[in-house]
């Protein structure tokens, strides 16, 4: 296997060469990919500091088909996924890790094969399909990171019902937390209820949803708010959290610039930026997923030759959970 077929940011298919395996390298045949909102931004030219011809997507699962010298962590036939940041193995985030983000700073995984350093890979849980395993690197690890330290009985407010939000709902319930979740769709809120959401709020019919959060918590506020909207919702998220609580800032769907009322965070409120996570977090999360046999929620799976259609479907924002692409023949 000397070449792979890949999809670049302009949504064209291309044949790309595969490097020879160096010390510690692993060749992975990609079996499935899942998409993130970030992929839309890159394909749409919103991230101009990335190469014009970068290969799209950060999240994939596949099979190890060859290993280089010095590889001890994996063998042929193992089912694996790569971490979003190839350089973030353990410990806290460092700025230089941003130069190793898949599908942006470095070529992504929307390709039939990819070579990785063994340190960047993790095994996917045995009970998951490749499509389910492909949903984990960005959305699931982000949600897991944001909920670090969650205790039984905590109240978690989650904005939206996209990939990160649905994983956060599942993980919060795994931690024994009470979950309040928002959406503009009653149909999606009903699905969230089926997954264990304790309270739901339609933010279209309840535009002052932060007041509803306070009502549902007897004026106390949520312990942790997963802020997935960005500009336009941050102020409401801050108003929804308890004194001493945390707002986990994740999303940029509505933009990145918004005035901040400093007095609103003076009651010891923490604003915590969440930028995916490390290989160590990924492995810890996978142990929990395997133990509880948790299954990711996939809205729809597209074949590889319909990757552009998959991105357009994601852009329509009608999905609940993740949108995936399968490389297996129908």
141-273 has which CATH code? Answer: 3.40.50.720
Q: How many residues are recorded in the chain? A: 330
pLDDT score for 1: 67
Do 3-135+296-326 and 141-273 have matching folds?
no
What does the pLDDT read at residue 249? Answer: 93
Give the CATH architecture of domain 3-135+296-326: Alpha-Beta Complex (3.90)
pTM for the model: 0.94
Per DSSP, 138 falls in state I
How far apart, in whole angstroms, are the C-alpha atoms of residue 303 and residue 315? 17
Q: How far is residue 135 from each of residues 127, 138, 282, 297, 324, measured CA to CA in Å?
A: 14, 7, 12, 9, 7
CB 304 within 8 A of CB 328: no
The answer to whether the CB of 112 falls within 8 A of the CB of 55 is no
Quote the pLDDT of residue 269. 86
* pLDDT the model gives residue 330: 47
The lowest-confidence range among 120-134, 220-234, 284-298, 304-318 is: 220-234
**Placement of tokens 């977090």 in the chain:** 281
Q: Any idea where the domains of the chain sit in the sequence?
A: 3-135+296-326, 141-273
Cβ-Cβ contacts under 8 Å for 305 (sequence gap 6 or more): none
Tell me phi and psi for residue 93, to 5 degrees: -70, 140
Burial class (CB in 10 A: 0-12, 13-18, 19+), 251: buried
Are residues 134 and 60 in contact, defined by beta-carbon separation less than 8 angstroms? yes
* Res 2 pLDDT > 50: yes
User: 10 Å Cβ neighbour count for 57?
Assistant: 33
Q: Is the pLDDT of residue 264 over 90?
A: no
Highest mean pLDDT (candidates 53-57, 226-230, 258-262): 53-57
222-227 and 241-249: which strand pairing? parallel
What is d(CA 160, CA 153) in angstroms, rounded to the nearest whole number? 21
For residues 223-246, give the mean pLDDT.
Answer: 89
Cα–Cα distance between 170 and 285 in angstroms, integer? 12
Q: Average pLDDT of 286-307?
A: 97
Write down the mean pLDDT value for the chain.
93
Q: 10 Å Cβ neighbour count for 124?
A: 25
| 5 token code pair | 């077929």
| pLDDT average, residue stretch 262-267 | 70
Q: Is the pLDDT reported for residue 77 higher than 70? A: yes
Distance CA 65, CA 78 (A): 8
């Amino acid at each position: 296997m000397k070449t792979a077929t890949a999809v670049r940011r302009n949504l064209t298919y291309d044949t790309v060469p595969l490097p020879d395996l160096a010390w510690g390298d692993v060749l992975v045949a990609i079996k499935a990919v899942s998409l993130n909102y970030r992929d839309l931004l890159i394909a749409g030219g919103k991230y101009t500091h990335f190469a014009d011809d970068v290969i799209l997507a950060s999240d994939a699962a596949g099979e190890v088909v060859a290993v280089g010298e010095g590889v001890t962590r994996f063998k042929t036939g193992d089912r694996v996924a790569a971490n979003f940041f190839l350089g973030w193995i353990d410990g806290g985030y460092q700025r230089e890790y941003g130069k190793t983000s898949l599908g942006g700073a470095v070529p992504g995984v929307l390709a039939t094969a990819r070579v990785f350093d063994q340190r960047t890979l993790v095994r996917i849980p045995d009970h998951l399909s490749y499509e389910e395993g492909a949903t984990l690197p960005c959305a699931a690890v982000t949600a897991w990171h944001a909920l670090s330290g969650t205790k039984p009985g905590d109240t978690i407010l989650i904005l939206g019902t996209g990939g990160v939000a649905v994983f956060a709902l599942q993980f919060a319930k795994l931690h024994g937390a009470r979950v309040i979740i928002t959406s503009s769709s009653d149909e999606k809120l009903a699905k969230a209820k089926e997954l264990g959401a304790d309270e739901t709020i339609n933010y279209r019919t309840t535009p002052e949803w932060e007041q509803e959060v306070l009502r549902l918590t007897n004026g106390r506020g949520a312990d942790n708010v997963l802020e997935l909207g960005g500009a336009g919702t941050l102020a409401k998220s801050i108003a929804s959290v308890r004194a001493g609580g945390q707002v986990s800032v994740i999303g940029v769907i509505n933009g990145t610039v918004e005035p901040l009322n400093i007095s609103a965070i003076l009651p010891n409120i923490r604003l915590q930026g969440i930028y995916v996570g490390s290989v160590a977090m990924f492995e810890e999360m996978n142990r929990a997923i395997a133990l509880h046999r948790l299954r990711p929620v996939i809205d729809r799976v597209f074949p590889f030759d319909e990757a552009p259609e998959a991105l357009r479907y994601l852009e329509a924002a009608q999905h609940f959970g993740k949108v995936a692409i399968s490389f297996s023949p129908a």
